[in-house]
Amino acid sequence: MASVKKETDRLIDHLSVIEEAAEDILSDKQQIIEFDLRRNKTREALRSLQKSNKEKKSWICIGGMFIKMPKKTAVKMLEKDYDELEKEINETRTKLKPKVNKLRDLQNEDDIKGFGLEPLSQSEVRAVERLL
Amino acid sequence: MASVTAEKVQEVREVTRIERIGAHSHIRGLGLDDALEARAVSQGMVGQAAARRAAGVILEVIKEGKIAGRAILIAGQPGTGKTAIAMGMAQALGSDTPFTSIAGSEIFSLEMSKTEALTQAFRKSIGVRIKEETEIIEGEVVEIQIDRPATGTGAKVGKLTLKTTEMETIYDLGQKMIESLTKDKVQAGDIITIDKASGKITKLGRSFTRARDYDAMGPQTKFVQCPEGELQKRKEVVHTVTLHEIDVINSRTQGFLALFSGDTGEIKSEVREQINSKVAEWREEGKAEIVPGVLFIDEVHMLDIECFSFLNRALESDMAPILIMATNRGITKIRGTQYNSPHGVPIDLLDRLLIISTSPYEEKEIKQILKIRCEEEDVEMSDDALTVLTRIGMETSLRYSIQLITTANLVSRKRKATEVEVDDIKRVYSLFLDESRSTQFLKECQEEFMFNEIGESETMETS
């Protein structure tokens, strides 16, 4: 009886490890979506600020509060946000890969073919494009 | 982009392929279980358990990508399933590993030297796996708004609203984008991708939610789901191309049409060297993986001594595929020389080979194979007829009895029967001679044939 219990515990442990890894991946994916949403909103804001060039100052909503600030400062802030978001998205994407690999490993699946490859550069792709 | 290529492939497959039933069309794999033990009857394979097990072991090593530049010889009497085993290996390898199959006599051509033909076959069997990465914007078009300036000339401005299931955003459009959007006739409800680097727009289809917008639609209208997740995605596509394909693309005089017409002519060795070094460079940088494939040379005794010494050398290269050869010869002359050698293959090459031998089928196995072939050719056969056919197979050859299946079927259909009976078999057996009966007949009536004085020598000359 004890051995059955031990086996069950082991199984549950194993499953929870897999579940945890999968959950991690899902949350990362969700995070990328959130980031992309913010990135697009920031881009839209930047665009609309660029367009309205009449006033020196403009209204900007930060965290549920409207603040009037000089346009230059606003643009600078948004640009910084944008760059930060871009960096964050790339980082999450890069981190996602080993996680997916780990999950496949836990589930006893083979690695995806060519998963670990570095991508070809633009010019290299163009050279072999006709083959692809 | 990937979906576009996928779409194309699908289109090609939609065309109904009228395929003739080949001699080995029933083979789907090697018929091994997970422990590499041969199942008695599986995936179209029957018997030859030892040879199949050996092939399975080699297959595992190929899949691991561990060995390159090894060679295997499948030796056995005619009609013992040598080609079947090679075909089974090809099937089991899957589509990702390149498999090239040539017959030994194929390399003798007027347009190409023997070594060139062999080199091309070698390079067709080595795959290079590369990855393409693109940033794309993918979404459903909610609205396109294009403002024309009142004067009629001048820059247009516009807005494009895209959405996924999670988000929606507005893009301001420049002149170029507006042009390509109008050119592609993109409208609200289309699912499009925009390649970030090149700005190329690809229409994937129309959104399912818009399926009822119109009553009459073109036949090519494709409905797709609204994309999920983020708008700006990173897409990675892995391709496997063969070295030969890269060769052809890069040998200037050819142009890319050469790849499809099949007539590639000779490729300069400089081109090959350049490509080798480029691929090696990619490998160093982690941009490419070499996928050693399999080159199968059937009837290898048809190669001559020059080819054999070329093979010897080529196997040593670090980008060599796994070479599988098959022969049905015993100790015979090596082509192009006066020397005898086992299997008609020089001893020095033979020394590098792993030899798998196939043995003649037993009665039960022959029956099983005939049964499988009957299924493959959609022939109903009564048990008695099958037993008779098996006997014929035992006494003459397996190939002959397989031939009789089709012919007997025709005879049975002539008398409007659904099943092939013993009488049908008897009839075709009397209609078509097998090899030994034909020889017998010739021996008896040799005098009545023309030029009979030539046929003095009994032994057949093959080289």
Token representation of residue B27:
């083979």
Neighboring chain A residues of B229 at a CB cutoff of 8 Å: 29, 32-33
DSSP code of residue A108:
T
List B207's β-bridge partners, or say none. Answer: B224
- In terms of residue numbers, what domain contains A74? 2-104
Under CATH, to which class is B132-237 assigned? mainly beta
Would you say residue A50 lies in a domain? yes
What is the count of structural domains for chain A? Answer: 1
Distance CA B40, CA B52 (A): 11
Query: Would you state the pLDDT for residue A68?
Result: 85
How does pLDDT run across B249-271, given as a tens digit for each residue? 777 554 555 455 555 567 888 88
Asked if residue A131 is part of any domain, the answer here is no
Q: Which of B96, B256, B287 sits opposite A117 (nearest CB)?
A: B287
The verdict on A114 touching B (C-beta cutoff 8 Å) is yes
Quote the minimal CA–CA distance from A40 to chain B in Å: 6
Which residues of chain B fall short of a pLDDT of 50? 1-19, 254, 258, 462-463
- Supply the angle between the helices B383-395 and B422-431 in degrees, to the nearest 10: 30
Please, which residues have CB within 8 angstroms of residue B405's CB and are 6 or more apart in sequence?
A: B370, B373, B374, B377, B379, B381, B389, B420
Of A32, A119, A128, which has the smallest distance from its Cβ to B133's Cβ? A119
Mutate to test the interface with A, among B136, B169, B194 (most CBs of A within 10 A): B169
> Which residues of chain A does B288 touch, with a Cβ-Cβ cutoff of 8 Å?
117
Q: What is the CATH number of the domain that holds A80?
A: 1.10.287.370
Helices (H), A52-70: none
Shortest CA gap B20–chain A (Å): 29
Architecture of domain B363-447: Orthogonal Bundle (1.10)
- So what's the pLDDT on residue B192? 92
Q: How many CA atoms lie within 13 A of B395 on its CB side?
A: 10
pLDDT at site A85: 92
Identify all chain B residues contacting A47, using CB atoms and an 8 Å cutoff. Answer: 172
Each domain of chain B, given as residue ranges in start order, spans 23-97+293-360, 132-237, 363-447
| Secondary structure, 3-state, B34-81 | CCCCECCEECCEECCHHHHHHHHHHHHHHHHCCCCCCEEEEECCCCCC
| ipTM value for the complex | 0.79
Q: Which residues of A touch B256 (CB under 8 A)?
A: 130
Distance from CA of A57 to the nearest CA of B (A): 23
Tell me, yes or no, if the pTM score tops 0.90: no
Question: B23-97+293-360 has which CATH code?
Answer: 3.40.50.300
Per-residue pLDDT tens digits for A54-100? 777 888 877 788 888 888 888 898 899 999 999 999 999 888 888 88
